[in-house]
Structure 1
Amino acid sequence: MSTEHAGQIEIVLRLLVATIAGMAVGLNRDIHNKPIGMRTLGLVALGSALVILSGSVYEGLHFGQDAVSRVIQGILTGLGFLGAGVILRDENRMQVRGLTTAATVWIAAALGLTAGLGAWFITFAGTAVTLFLLTLGKPIEDRLMRLLSGKGRPEQDGLEG
């Protein structure tokens, strides 16, 4: 196999891993009937990987760490707009909803970036920790709140979602 084909296979692998990592996080959101799910977060992660790959390697030219850093900053700044779209405020109860879902947009982008950079361990570990937190974070938080405050979690804080 030629070096060019090996590089192309590596790029496809990075794009697939980014997409799968984003989809795994999105599946959790789908299971909990949240506004952003598997396809959306898969696309966010894929888009991040595409941008980081195109920003770091183009026709064999490798850009320096400065250029890659600027690409990462641009992605994470731009993702704020997508995340902001899922944050809602209930005017009657002064609750904010969707912050967790907005955070999953940001983490899916970060997982896409790490996969795009070929940082495999960080991508897999980040996906695992994200899924752990999304799956077990609320029960652990509720238990700690009961233990430390002597009460259940107040529903009016409204920061989940």
Structure 2
Amino acid sequence: MIEIIDLFLRLIAATVSGAFIGFTRERIQRPAGLRTHALISVGAAFITELSIFTFFNGVTGDPGRVAAQIVSGIGFLGAGTILKKGFSVKGLTTAATLWVTAAIGMGFGAGEYFSSALATSIVLLIVVGFKRVDRLVGKGNKQTITIEMYKGHAMEKLTKYLEKLGITPLHIEIETDEDSITFELVIKDEDYKAIKKNIVEFASIEGIISIDLGD
């Protein structure tokens, strides 16, 4: 009975840890959110439990054989969240959180409560706290937005609206394809906030296909 309770607690702990990590992606509308991370974590924990307690009887079998496939298998799922749009590659952080969430789930599945909880805390610190550090050290007070528009007078319309808001991009990159044109704008923090504040009006510009405000 005690063994069953312990196995149950491992699954619950894995689920909670995965949910915490997933929430950090859910709140910024990333494709893999709370439920996805929770499912990956509890799934990894359950497979690890099976690998240790079912496929190994203490004498024959390999307790790590099945669990080892999680490491490579989760890579395929993470790859599905990575997208290249225009000049930017999106989803790398989400793919990384999926991978580390599986590792944490494996830790709980193996009964390593302390190390798995510590890893969860470190991941949350990196995802939430390091984002501010990244802005201070890497980006400074700059933000990047990606705008996709239909071809035509796209540049003229975009420039006109940016002038209306008093925004002067620090850097602009343009990529075109058959039907659309993509702009990647590097702007100041205060200009980024102005666009977010007027996002509904901004999105109503004729010809806008999509706007990505980044992480």
- TM-score under structure 1 length normalisation: 0.83
- Structure 1: runs of 5+ lacking an equivalent: none
Counterpart in 1 of 2:69? 74
Shift of 1:73: 2.6
Counterpart in 2 of 1:118? 111
CA distance in 2, matches of 1:113, 1:99: 21
2:36 corresponds to 1:43: no
CA distance in 2, matches of 1:140, 1:68: 40
Shift of 1:94: 2.2
CA distance in 2, matches of 1:79, 1:60: 23
Shift of 1:59: 8.4
Shift of 1:70: 3.1
Alpha-carbon displacement from aligned partner over 1:62-110 (angstroms, at most 9, x marks no partner): 478x9333334310100011101110010xx221100000011101101
Counterpart in 1 of 2:205? none
CA distance in 2, matches of 1:123, 1:48: 13
Shift of 1:141: 1.1
2:78 corresponds to 1:83: yes
2:4 corresponds to 1:11: no
**8 Å CA contact retained: 1:26, 1:38:** yes
2:129 corresponds to 1:129: no
**8 Å CA contact retained: 2:78, 2:96:** yes
Counterpart in 2 of 1:28? 24
Shift of 1:32: 1.3
CA distance in 2, matches of 1:63, 1:33: 48
CA distance in 2, matches of 1:60, 1:103: 30
- TM-score under structure 2 length normalisation: 0.63
**8 Å CA contact retained: 1:87, 1:96:** yes
Alpha-carbon displacement from aligned partner over 1:1-42 (angstroms, at most 9, x marks no partner): xxxx11100100001001111011001111111111111100
Which structure: larger Rg? 2
Larger fraction in helix: 1
The letter for the 1-side match of 2:120 is T
- Please give the root-mean-square deviation of Cα atoms over the aligned residues, in Å: 2.5
CA distance in 2, matches of 1:129, 1:108: 12
Q: 1:25 to 1:140 in 2, by over 3 A?
A: same
Aligned partner of residue 89 in structure 1, secondary structure: strand
Q: Share of identical aligned residues, percent?
A: 31
Aligned partner of residue 84 in structure 2, secondary structure: strand
Tell me the number of residue pairs that the alignment of Structure 1 and Structure 2 aligns: 149
Moved >4 Å (runs of 4+): 151-154
Aligned partner of residue 36 in structure 2, secondary structure: helix
